[in-house]
Amino acid sequence: MNLSIIIPVYNEVNTINQIINKVLDVKIPYKEIIIVDDFSSDGTKKELEKYKNNNLFKIIHHNYNKGKGACLISALPLVTGDYVIIQDADLEYDPNDFLSFVNLVEENPKIKVIYGSRVLKRKKIQKGFMVKFRIFANYVLTTLSNLLNNQNLTDAHTCYKFIDVKVIKEMKLSHNDFSICPEITTKLNRLDQEIIEIPVSYNGRNYSDGKKIRFKDAIIAFYTLIKFRFFWKQINKK
């Protein structure tokens, strides 16, 4: 299996080299790493220069800050792997969990989509008020997603979405911000794709550490879920 790892990056100069090294250390024979710098202003772009001559890497630089969803959309045309996984650059998720995804698909090649759940058989979740609040907000949004899409997920808004490349390209994703997450989950439902969940580690950051997602992103995610559930036909006509 050839795995394409997409890393959206925005102002992560303190963690970008660490996450890249962690990804490189994962013992997967065939992989490519696509990094999308979303117009960082803190030195991240300079750090990425050291990888531009490495054949494992494909690096994209946005000419203005577009959002996480836009990073994924920019990366997809460059993907050559069989499966794609999204890896945040902030060290909240552990790339060693890649092996769990790969092993499961190798055991059952019919699986097309796997989500890494932060709450399913919790492996490691950092404590702290803001981390717990985000987990609660995720629970609310996941419950809404399940109701609207007739699903039974525990973590619909996880970063770790491991998806067959043909499936994710069929979605024709359009959202540039964090609402890319509910868009993916809703479109998978529309494509009748079963989502398998497995537990993953999670080391949540606080805003003082550079956490990007905000309360407004939860509101936008809520709106996106409603939009794709009740206005699907109108959206498809555009």
pLDDT on residue 119: 86
pLDDT on residue 147: 85
- CA 200 to CA 164: how far, in whole Å? 19
Domain that holds residue 66: 2-237
Which segments within the chain are labelled E, that is strand? 2-9, 30-37, 57-61, 83-86, 113-117, 161-164, 196-199
How much is the pTM?
0.86
- Residues 92-129: pLDDT tens digits? 999 999 999 999 999 999 999 999 998 886 655 555 54
- Residues 10-21: pLDDT tens digits? 999 999 999 999
Structurally, how many domains does the chain consist of?
A: 1
Q: Which two tokens stand for residue 146?
A: 């399940």
**Cα-Cα-Cα-Cα dihedral of 225, 227, 228, 234, to 10°?**
180
Cβ(216)–Cβ(135) below 8 Å? no
Q: From the centroid of its chain, how far is CA 14?
A: 20
- Residues 150-197: pLDDT tens digits? 899 999 989 999 999 999 999 999 999 888 988 999 999 989 999 999
- Residue 70 sits in a domain of what CATH number? 3.90.550.10
H and E: helices and strands count for the chain: 9, 7
